[in-house]
């Protein structure tokens, strides 16, 4: 599978990564999916300490401990579970991040994390303190690089101007083109976008239209708009499948370092990997897709 460099870092990731949140709780199943992902060329795994109260990190750790050096391992911090696990609170403090990384390292059974990401962020945070925490973890060798996971433009601009982030994880797909407004600025800072949700909750896959349209809406799309749009996508003259079109659309811009669809089944994993190995999207098809799909912008946190 083709690889891309995250920012100007030493991390080279497969264009298709694996978002591990949807692996489930069955250890044998989760480990087998990760093994298969690696076998088909995926080297980039993304998890978070928030997922399943840390159990997701534990499953990932068990799956990769014998092939750690084959993997670019990413996880996230910044959310603190309440004691009764009824919810979580936001804590981007240096104290919390430095404690969180220790717990993640234990669960992942490794002594370093390749990409450590802030799992959110607000403009009211003490951003300088948060950056200082990540920089110190990097100096200590506990992490190789760091990034943020955020769709808030005001937060993104702060980290681009103040920090050495190499990546910004953003929800991005043909049905959510809001990040495109910021691609030029992100690219100017030599930072990469990691696209989560590239299949828009299965709307951009080979599932029958009748199943896709069980949803009432998606972001600014009404159910009727979705129906018309998805039918237009299906009628595009292209040898690519819908999944291939969706993932290759995200990869069209060089600023995108990787897309990370989730997979709870082997079939989904193989479809995603095949889509990553498909031919890049021709410019005329890319242009046609952009003519069809809305170009919304973030309305808040600007």
**Contact at 8 Å (CB) between 252 and 270?**
no
Confidence band of 119 (pLDDT split at 50, 70, 90) = confident
Instruction: For 33-65, write each residue's pLDDT tens digit.
Output: 999 999 999 999 999 998 777 789 999 999 998
Q: 51 catalytic, yes or no? A: yes
Is residue 81's pLDDT more than 80? Answer: no
For the chain, give the number of residues. 302
Contacts 24+ apart (CB under 8 A), 221-230: 221/175, 221/294, 229/175, 229/292, 229/293, 230/203
Looking at residues 68-86, what average pLDDT do you find?
87
The domain locations on the chain are: 3-292
- Number of helical H runs and strand E runs in the chain: 11, 14
- What pTM does this model have? 0.95
Task: Please state, in angstroms and rounded to a whole number, the distance separating the CA atoms of residues 275 and 253.
Answer: 16
Instruction: For 161-197, write each residue's pLDDT tens digit.
Output: 999 999 999 999 999 999 999 999 999 999 999 999 9
Does the domain at 3-292 match CATH 3.20.20.100? Answer given as: yes
Active-site residue, from 51, 116, 172, 249: 51
Is residue 85's pLDDT more than 80? Answer: no
Instruction: For 221-279, write each residue's pLDDT tens digit.
Output: 999 999 999 999 988 988 899 999 999 999 999 999 999 998 899 999 999 999 999 99
């Amino acid at each position: 599978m083709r690889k891309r460099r995250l920012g100007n870092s030493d991390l080279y990731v497969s264009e298709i990564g694996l978002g591990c949140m949807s692996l489930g709780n069955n250890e044998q199943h989760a480990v087998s999916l990760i093994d298969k992902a690696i076998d088909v060329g995926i080297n980039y795994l993304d998890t978070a300490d928030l997922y399943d109260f840390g159990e997701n990190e534990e499953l990932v750790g068990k799956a990769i401990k014998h092939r750690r050096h084959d993997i670019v391992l990413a996880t996230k911090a910044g959310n603190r579970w309440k004691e009764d696990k009824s919810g979580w609170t936001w804590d981007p403090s240096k104290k919390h991040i430095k404690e969180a990384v220790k717990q993640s390292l234990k669960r992942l059974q490794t002594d370093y994390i390749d990409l450590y990401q802030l799992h959110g962020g607000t403009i009211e945070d003490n951003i300088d303190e948060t950056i200082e925490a990540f920089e110190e973890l990097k100096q200590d060798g506990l992490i190789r690089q760091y990034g943020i996971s955020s769709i808030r433009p005001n937060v993104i601009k702060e980290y681009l101007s103040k920090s050495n982030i190499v990546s910004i994880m953003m929800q991005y797909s043909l049905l959510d083109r809001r990040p495109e407004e910021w691609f030029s600025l992100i690219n100017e800072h030599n930072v990469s976008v990691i696209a989560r949700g590239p299949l828009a909750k299965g709307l951009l896959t080979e599932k029958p239209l009748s199943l896709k349209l069980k949803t009432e809406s998606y972001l600014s799309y009404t159910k009727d708009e979705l129906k018309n749009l998805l039918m237009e996508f299906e009628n595009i003259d292209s040898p690519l499948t819908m999944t291939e079109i969706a993932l290759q659309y995200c990869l069209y811009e060089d600023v995108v370092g990787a897309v990370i669809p989730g997979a709870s089944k082997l079939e989904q994993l193989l479809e995603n990997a095949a889509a990553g190995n498909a031919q890049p999207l021709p410019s005329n098809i890319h242009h046609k897709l952009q003519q069809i799909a809305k170009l919304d912008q973030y309305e808040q946190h600007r």
